[in-house]
Structure 1
Amino acid sequence: MDLERLILMIRLLNVCVSVVGSGMLLAAMLMPEVFSVSPAFPAIIAFSWIVTIFFNPAAKELWEKWKSNMRS
């Protein structure tokens, strides 16, 4: 596996972790009796989204594609 492909896979994994983590956080807020999460969990998700939005070019490309699909 070449280095660029590995970097792309790590960046896409970052996007997936952010989305899944946000879903888990939302589920924990809506159904606290079912899901119990650590108090640090929201901070971890916030950090993950900051990394995704500001430092992940793959996430920016996905966001631009999604916006262009929504317009058409």
Structure 2
Amino acid sequence: MEKTTKNSSSFHVVKNGRMLHGNAAFLHIASKVGGVDGFLALYGQEVMKNSLNAVLSEARSKDGTPRIRRVK
């Protein structure tokens, strides 16, 4: 049997001088933005913005102007 290492959580925050990890950190972050639904909405917006920027950067022509435009 192989020796496995513990998977680390991607959430780490400091609350009142104490380091929170995992679910406790997630709940602390979610409470700051109005709950889990608020956190997921903000996360979804960030993912969409990052995806759009990646697509636009790939779609730029050699002279630096985009072949497609972002509509606000």
* TM bucket normalised to smaller: 0.3 to 0.5
Q: TM-score, normalised by structure 1?
A: 0.40
Q: Work out which structure has the larger RCO, using CA pairs closer than 8 Å and 6 or more positions apart in sequence.
A: 1
**Richer in helix (by share):** 1
Rg (Cα) greater in structure: 2
Give the structure-2-normalised TM-score. 0.40
